[in-house]
Amino acid sequence: MFVFDERLADLVLAYCRERLSLDPVPLDYGGYDTSFSELLEGLLGPSGNDPQKVLDLFTERLATAVISHDSPRFLSFIPAAPTKAALLFDMVVSCSSLNGTSWLLSAGAVAAENQALGVIAELAGLPAEAGGTFVSGSSAANLSALLVARDTAWVHGHASPGRTRIALSGEAHSSVTKAIHILGAEPLVVPTADHHLTGGALAAALDADDDPSSVVAVVATAGTTNAGIVDDLATVTAVAHERGLWCHVDAAYGGGALFSERARRRFAGIGAADSIAIDPHKWLFAPYDCAALLYRDPSLAKAAHTQDAAYLAALHTAPRVPGMPPAGGKGGGEDPWNPTDYAFGLSRRSRGLPLWFSLAVHGTEPYRDAVDAVLATARAAAELIDETPHTTLVRAPELSIVLFRRNGWSRARYDAWSAQLLADQVALVVPTTWEGKPVARLAMLHPETTLDVVKEILDSMA
Ligand SMILES: *Cc1c(COP(=O)(O)O)cnc(C)c1O
């Protein structure tokens, strides 16, 4: 029924080839004023359409109404800059229907994903036994990790599962607040010192609290999304462990900077975390959707996340067939390593493989160089802003997010300017808020974002 069609394959592959070779990727426009109902009317019905026509509709009318996250002029939210090798291998993952749920069915794919996780774990300084899985994004990673923290609280000496609280700072990502809500837990918001969560502030908050034993975990952020600020991980992990708390580090955006020797100093202490979330689909140059979730002690995660069902028992207890290799762990060992045991969700795409392939093809050095290049551009952008008479740097960037003011502008001025900047295809820069006031925000992670683009942006504010 759905037989292989050479022409359809050629059409789609030709488009993929063309999209991959765009240099630079055009920024394009989003969906602010566009309506698609007429365009899409009647397209999906009992009988199909000519593939060429459908593809043209997509490439000419739909794809152009998507702002390209991978354009070097996309400087808002968190951009994307996947390597071509990773993008191409993502197609292989799709074309092979790679399902990386279990060792029993997909040992080869799982071993390769675990090798990629191992590179990240080593950069972070986690012990060799650390492991985990790739999930769809750090929202899913944060939720999965905090579920383990909650369910294993007794390991850390919390006897009463009655009330569960999780400490975090006001700068933690919205997905962390959401995860706490989903888990039926309550937040304990710890005040920050110059926007950084510190161990001292955590200890003081626990000391001042009338129910500290209900606090089972703390979330530190290694690269806040709004400002790229790295919490004081060394003191937070130390205090967390003194007080028997699980320490989760949300390094969704900032984790890529572990590749930079210079930036890595800011992450001192991350290796002592109980769990870490890092989005390769952000600063590790992988395609969507890919988040690395790592646990210091994966057995705790396995106890919390393993799904039990009659038909799944075979995944956990596969007998050894004489003459066949053992059911290996992360890439050896005896216990089957099932990625599905380390996060919520069962079926999973082998979404770590594009990163694995790209790391294998390129080696880690270009990753280090790309991250260093982005960090250097962010520092240069900050200097330029400082020297420009009509702008004021809000603070020196710790990583690659630069906040600054156009002197004298209201929020409405920023909004109007931002819309015009996109209309002119100069850049996507949307304003944010800092200490209650509107500011402009440049989120950099594309290695090809140049200082010239920043100059164009600053000139447009004159
Ligand atoms: C992006 C981000 C998240 C959410 O990650 P998704 O991959 O979008 O789900 C969580 N925390 C931080 C710090 C982030 O930057």
User: What is the band of 323 on the pLDDT scale with cuts at 50, 70, 90?
Assistant: low
Q: How far is the CA of 329 from the centre of ligand 1 (A)?
A: 29
Residues 397 and 354 in one domain: no
Report the pLDDT averaged over residues 214-239: 98
221 lines ligand 1 (CB under 6 A): yes
- Check whether 395 has a pLDDT greater than 80: yes
Residues 30, 65 contacting (CB under 8 angstroms): yes
Residue 125: predicted pLDDT: 98
User: What is the band of 9 on the pLDDT scale with cuts at 50, 70, 90?
Assistant: very high
Averaged pLDDT score across all residues of the chain? 94
Q: How far is the CA of 134 from the centre of ligand 1 (A)?
A: 14
For 332-386, the pLDDT digits (tens) are 555 689 999 999 999 999 999 999 999 999 999 999 999 999 999 999 999 999 9
For 70-92, the pLDDT digits (tens) are 999 999 999 999 999 999 999 99
Asked if residue 373 is part of any domain, the answer here is yes
Task: Tell which of 339, 362, 385 closes a domain.
Answer: 362
Residue 30: predicted pLDDT: 82
Three-state DSSP string of 116-157: HHHHHHHHHCCCCCCEEEEECCHHHHHHHHHHHHHHCHHHHC
Residues 190 and 334 in one domain: yes
Residues 193 and 310 in one domain: yes
User: What is the band of 154 on the pLDDT scale with cuts at 50, 70, 90?
Assistant: confident
Residue 162: predicted pLDDT: 75
Residue 31: predicted pLDDT: 74
279 lines ligand 1 (CB under 6 A): yes
Task: At 456, list the tokens.
Answer: 């164009």
Residues 278 and 148 in one domain: yes
Tell the residue number behind the tokens 């808020």, with chain if given: 433
253 lines ligand 1 (CB under 6 A): yes
Show Cβ contacts of residue 194 under 8 Å, excluding neighbours closer than 6 positions. none
Residues 386 and 344 in one domain: no
Task: Tell which of 317, 343, 362 closes a domain.
Answer: 362
Task: At 161, list the tokens.
Answer: 């599962």
Asked if residue 246 is part of any domain, the answer here is yes
Asked if residue 169 is part of any domain, the answer here is yes
369 is in which domain, residue-wise? 365-459
Task: At 250, list the tokens.
Answer: 């949300």
Distance from C-alpha of 54 to C-alpha of 37, rounded to nearest angstrom: 15
136 lines ligand 1 (CB under 6 A): no
Distance from C-alpha of 188 to C-alpha of 343, rounded to nearest angstrom: 24
Cα angle 70, 75, 80 (rounded to 5 degrees) comes to 30
- Check whether 319 has a pLDDT greater than 90: no
Q: What is the DSSP string of 339-375?
A: GGGGSS-SS-B-TTHHHHHHHHHH-SHHHHHHHHHHH
Q: Structurally, how many domains does the chain consist of?
A: 2
- Check whether 149 has a pLDDT greater than 60: yes
283 lines ligand 1 (CB under 6 A): no
225 lines ligand 1 (CB under 6 A): yes
Asked if residue 46 is part of any domain, the answer here is no
139 lines ligand 1 (CB under 6 A): yes
Q: What are the backbone dihedrals phi and psi of residue 349, each rounded to the nearest 5 degrees, phi first?
A: -70, 145
Q: What letter would DSSP give residue 321?
A: P
Q: How far is the CA of 320 from the centre of ligand 1 (A)?
A: 41
Residues 51, 11 contacting (CB under 8 angstroms): yes
Report the pLDDT averaged over residues 162-186: 96
Residue 160: predicted pLDDT: 60
Residues 393 and 451 in one domain: yes
Distance from C-alpha of 257 to C-alpha of 242, rounded to nearest angstrom: 28
CB atoms within 10 A of CB 163: 13
* HSE (side-chain half, CA atoms, 13 Å) at 57: 12
- Check whether 326 has a pLDDT greater than 60: no
Q: How far is the CA of 176 from the centre of ligand 1 (A)?
A: 9
Residue 314: predicted pLDDT: 83
Residues 281 and 417 in one domain: no
User: What is the band of 212 on the pLDDT scale with cuts at 50, 70, 90?
Assistant: very high
Residue 244: predicted pLDDT: 94
SS3 for 404? strand
400 lines ligand 1 (CB under 6 A): no
Residue 248: predicted pLDDT: 98
Look at ligand 1, atom 5, and give the residue with the nearest C-alpha: 138
Peptide bond preceding 366 in cis form (omega within 30 of 0) = no
Distance from C-alpha of 6 to C-alpha of 8, rounded to nearest angstrom: 6
- Check whether 3 has a pLDDT greater than 80: yes
The atom of ligand 1 lying closest to the CA of 223 is: 13
Mutate to test the pocket of ligand 1, among 279, 281, 432 (most ligand atoms within 8 A of CB): 279
Report the pLDDT averaged over residues 138-163: 86
Distance from C-alpha of 121 to C-alpha of 131, rounded to nearest angstrom: 8
Residues 346 and 448 in one domain: no
Task: Tell which of 362, 394, 427 closes a domain.
Answer: 362
Residues 257, 378 contacting (CB under 8 angstroms): no
For 242-287, the pLDDT digits (tens) are 999 999 999 999 999 999 999 999 999 999 999 999 999 999 999 9
* Residue 270: alpha-carbon gap to chain centroid: 16
Distance from C-alpha of 214 to C-alpha of 158, rounded to nearest angstrom: 7
Output the domain CATH number for residue 379.
3.90.1150.170
Task: Return the minimum-mean-pLDDT range out of 29-33, 144-148, 158-162, 265-269.
Answer: 158-162
The atom of ligand 1 lying closest to the CA of 138 is: 5
Residues 310 and 238 in one domain: yes
* E-strand stretches of 179-255: 186-190, 215-221, 246-250
Residue 382: predicted pLDDT: 98
Q: pTM score, two decimals? A: 0.96
For 435-451, the pLDDT digits (tens) are 999 999 999 999 999 99
Distance from C-alpha of 223 to C-alpha of 417, rounded to nearest angstrom: 27
The atom of ligand 1 lying closest to the CA of 281 is: 7
137 lines ligand 1 (CB under 6 A): yes
Q: What share of the chain is helix, strand, coil (3-state, %, to 5)?
A: 45, 15, 40
- Check whether 2 has a pLDDT greater than 80: yes
User: What is the band of 33 on the pLDDT scale with cuts at 50, 70, 90?
Assistant: low
* E-strand stretches of 3-119: none
Asked if residue 53 is part of any domain, the answer here is no
Residues 339 and 414 in one domain: no
Look at ligand 1, atom 7, and give the residue with the nearest C-alpha: 137
Asked if residue 42 is part of any domain, the answer here is no
Residue type, 233: L
